[in-house]
């Protein structure tokens, strides 16, 4: 649908167009949302999708010079959140990140932060708690396993090698995940930028000025890039987490296949004689 050509036709009831401002040279008209509607058709590979929007989802204005009607100028703005095709699941998918990504633009224009509807205790805390418990349950046994059966006089060297490999592995893993996240974020930003631009064009100039000031940018294109990046950051993070899961599964497979150390051995690992105190 993203690559399909969209044909928009505007049907306006004549009585619904009222003069908004009149001067000696030009006459201004505004579309009354409740009396106007717009339709579109998308020639998808397997079917032709026809949709419409009306009510408050449509705004427009027209300026006409009676002496030069061919020079009339106007704009029509369509709120893509109100577009309906007759199938709710298809409508939700059309507004998702894969296509129009309307949530990002709506959040920015309304001033609400992305993720404002997320509940910390039910949607974040359980996974943070699980990660903390998992790290505590894994790191200590793996540390003991790494220095298993190392002679007492070599314990310092063994500990140093372990810490060095942990630092190298952490740096390498961070570089891999950062590269994956950056690539996925950049790719998704380029994909949704046109839709974000269309959505921001519906905003009033004063709102756009405020957004450009808040983001510290000086042009509309830079604002589009910033908003598209906000909507794509989670996409990059998700891709990085997916690669991280694969790396952890690969590490777990190595441990299960090649590590043959029983917990009883770890419990008895240590100096043969007791430590003399005093």
Spatial CA neighbour of 106 closest among 223, 241, 222, 196: 196
The predicted structure's pLDDT at residue 222: 94
Mean pLDDT on 230-248: 93
- Of 50-64, 89-103, 145-159, 210-224, minimum mean pLDDT range: 89-103
The predicted structure's pLDDT at residue 220: 92
Q: Angle, to 10 degrees, between the axis of helix 155-200 and the axis of helix 102-110?
A: 80
The string of pLDDT tens digits covering residues 184-237 is 999 999 998 988 888 888 777 888 888 898 889 999 999 999 999 988 998 999
DSSP 8-state code for residue 105: H
The predicted structure's pLDDT at residue 259: 82
The mean pLDDT of the chain is: 80
The predicted structure's pLDDT at residue 12: 37
The predicted structure's pLDDT at residue 19: 46
- Phi, psi at 266, each rounded to 5°: -65, -35
pLDDT above 80 for 248: yes
CA dist 259 and 251 (Å) reads: 11
The region, left, alpha or beta by phi > 0 then psi within -120 to 50, assigned to residue 150 is: beta
The predicted structure's pLDDT at residue 258: 87
More confident residue, 135 or 59: 135
Mean pLDDT on 2-25: 40
Confidence label for 55 from pLDDT (cuts 50, 70 and 90): low
The region, left, alpha or beta by phi > 0 then psi within -120 to 50, assigned to residue 176 is: alpha
Q: Under DSSP, is residue 152 helix (H, G, I), strand (E, B) or coil? A: helix
- Rounded to the nearest 10°, the torsion over CA 191, 76, 64, 5 is 50
Instruction: List the end-to-end C-alpha distance of the chain, in Å, as a whole number.
Output: 81
Mean pLDDT on 95-108: 70
DSSP track, 232-249 = HHHHHHHHHHHHHHHHHH
The predicted structure's pLDDT at residue 54: 65
Distances (CA, A) of 4 to 27, 78, 202: 36, 18, 22
Contact (Cβ atoms closer than 8 angstroms) between residue 33 and residue 56? yes
């Amino acid at each position: 649908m993203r690559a399909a050509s969209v044909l928009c036709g505007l049907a306006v009831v004549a009585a619904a167009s009222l003069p908004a401002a009149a001067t000696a040279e030009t006459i201004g008209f505004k579309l009354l949302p409740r009396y106007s509607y717009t339709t579109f058709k998308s020639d998808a590979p397997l079917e032709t999708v026809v949709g419409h929007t009306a009510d408050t989802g449509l705004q427009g204005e027209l300026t006409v010079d009676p002496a030069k009607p061919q020079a009339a100028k106007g704009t029509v703005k369509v709120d893509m959140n109100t577009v309906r095709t007759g199938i709710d699941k298809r409508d939700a998918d059309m507004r998702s990140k894969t296509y129009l990504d309307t949530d990002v633009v709506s959040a920015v224009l309304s001033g609400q932060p992305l993720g404002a509807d997320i509940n910390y205790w039910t949607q974040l805390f359980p996974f943070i708690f699980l990660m903390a418990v998992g790290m505590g349950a894994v790191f200590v046994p793996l540390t003991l396993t790494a220095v298993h059966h190392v002679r007492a006089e070599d314990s310092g060297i063994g500990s140093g090698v372990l810490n060095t490999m942990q630092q190298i592995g952490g740096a390498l893993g961070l570089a891999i995940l950062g590269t994956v996240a950056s690539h996925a974020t950049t790719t998704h930003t380029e994909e949704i930028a046109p839709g974000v631009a269309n959505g921001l064009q519906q905003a009033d100039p004063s709102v756009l000025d405020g957004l450009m000031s808040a983001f510290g940018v000086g042009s509309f294109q830079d604002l589009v890039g910033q908003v598209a990046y906000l909507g794509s950051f989670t996409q990059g993070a998700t891709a990085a987490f997916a690669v991280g899961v694969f790396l952890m599964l690969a590490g777990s497979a190595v441990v299960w296949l090649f590590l043959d150390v029983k917990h009883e051995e770890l419990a008895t690992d240590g100096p043969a004689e007791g430590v003399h105190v005093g």
